[in-house]
Amino acid sequence: MKGFVDHVVIVCAGQQIARHQRAYGTGTFVFDPLHYLALIETKPNALDQAAPLQGWDLPEVFQHMRHLLEARMGNRGKREFIQILRFLEAMPQAVVTAAVTQAIQLGAIGFDAVKQIALARIERRPPRLDLSAYPHLPRTTVKTTAAADYTALIPGRAA
């Protein structure tokens, strides 16, 4: 552990593993919520009582996502929400917030949807190809297949 005037650095095996702002007040704690998410992932019921998360100022859309996940999936929804929070360790908060907002708008409630949307934003992939800009390309139309049409595939039977 190395203490500086304005911050404290925690080092393990020569590698910096944490850096916190220094607090001079008696009994004052400074938490970085991202450092505790791995622990909370192992104990998801501690999500509401964890002191490091109490003062975390996340956009309201995260609480909305949590309520939707827990309403649909129960305790598994809480675990999915923690995965979304852990995604903040790898992605900027603005990207994850936009992905959560878009996932809610699309009705795609879950970690996988948020991850896919965020990765698409980072890679700047268009959500879908707009063929109206390419009128020279042939249009495809696919008809719905009736179940009876599959009988033609059985040898000795005709539709």
What pTM does this model have? 0.66
Domain map of the chain by residue range?
A: 1-30, 33-123
The tens place of each residue's pLDDT in the chain, 159 residues long, gives 888 888 888 888 888 877 877 777 777 777 777 877 888 888 888 888 887 778 788 999 999 999 999 999 988 999 999 999 999 999 999 999 999 999 999 988 999 999 999 998 888 766 565 667 777 777 778 888 888 888 888 887 665
Strand, helix or coil for residue 119: helix
SS3 string, 66-97, reads HHHHHHHHCHHHHHHHHHHHHHCCCCCHHHHH
Q: Find, among 4, 94, 78, 1, the residue nearest to 41 by Cα.
A: 78
> What Rg do the C-alpha atoms of the chain give, in angstroms?
25
